[in-house]
Structure 1
Amino acid sequence: MKPIDRRGALRAGAAAALAGLATACGTTPRPAAPAPRRPAAAPVAAPAPRRLPGQPAEITHGPRDRPRVALTFHGQGDPALARTLLGQAEKAGARVTVLAVGSWLDRHPDLARRVLDGGHDLGNHTQRHIDVNAMTETEALAEIEACATRLRRLTGSIGTWFRPSRTQYAAPAVLRAARRAGYPHVLSYDVDSLDFTSPGATAVVRNVTGSVRAGSVVSLHFGYPDTAAALPLLLADLGRRGLRAVTTTELLT
Structure 2
Amino acid sequence: MTADRRTVLRTAAQLAALTAAGGLLTGCAGGTPRRADTGTLAAHPGTVDPQQTTDPAWNGGEGPESPAPAEPQPTGQPTAAATQSSTPPTPPALTPLAAGTPYEVVYGPRTGKNVALTFHGSGDPRLATALLEAAEQRGAKLTVMVVGSWLDQQPQMARRILDGGHELGNHTQNHLNISAMPPDQARAEIAQCADRLQKLTGSIGRWFRPSAAQFATQMVRDQAKAVGYEHVLSFDVDPRDYNDPTAAELQRRVLSTVRGGSVVALHMGHQCTIDALPAILDGLAKAGLKPVTASQLCA
TM-score of the pair, normalised by structure 2: 0.69
Unaligned runs of 5+ in 1: 1-33
Runs of 4+ in 1 over 2 A off after TM superposition: 42-53
CA-atom RMSD, angstroms?
2.3
Matches within 5 A, 1:14-33: none
2:289 maps to what in 1? 243
- 2:178 alignment partner in structure 1: 132
In the alignment, which residue of structure 1 is the partner of 2:149? 103
2 CA distance for matches of 1:89 and 1:50? 23
Pick the structure with more helix per residue.
1
Partner of 2:11: none
Cα-to-partner distance string for 1:25-60 (whole Å, 9 max, x where unaligned): xxxxxxxxx99x9xxxx9763246977531222110
- Aligned mates of 2:180, 2:91 — CA distance in 1: 34
Q: Name which structure has the greater RCO, CA cutoff 8 Å, separation 6+.
A: 1
Match of residue 6 from structure 1: none
Q: 2:128 aligns with which of 82, 90, 104?
A: 82
Q: Is the 8 A contact 1:47 1:157 kept in 2?
A: no
Among 222, 225, 228, the alignment partner of 1:176 is 222
| Distance in 2 between residues matched to 1:205 and 1:44, nearest whole Å | 37
CA contact (8 A) 2:114 2:289 kept: yes
Match of 2:22 in 1: none
Which residue of the other structure, out of 252, 262, 286, is the alignment partner of 1:206? 252
Match of 1:70 in 2: 116
Flag the structure with larger Rg: 2
TM-score, structure 1 as length reference? 0.81
Equivalent residue of 2:116, what SS? strand
Which of residues 256, 267, 286 is equivalent to 1:221?
A: 267
Q: Is 1:113–1:155's contact at 8 Å kept on the other side of the alignment?
A: yes
Q: Does 1:143 align with 2:189?
A: yes
How far does the alpha carbon of each residue in 1:78-108 deviate from its partner, in whole angstroms, 9 at most, with x for none?
1001000100111001000000000000000
Number of equivalences: 218
1:155 and 2:197 correspond? no
Preserved contact between residue 75 and residue 99 of structure 1 (Cα < 8 Å): yes
Task: Pick one of 61, 77, 81 that aligns with 2:107.
Answer: 61
Change (3 A) 1:153 1:60: same
**What's the counterpart of residue 27 of structure 1?**
none
Rounded to whole Å, the distance in 2 between the matches of 1:102 and 1:96 is: 18
* Identical amino acids, percent of aligned pairs: 50
Q: Distance in 2 between matches of 1:146 and 1:225?
A: 29
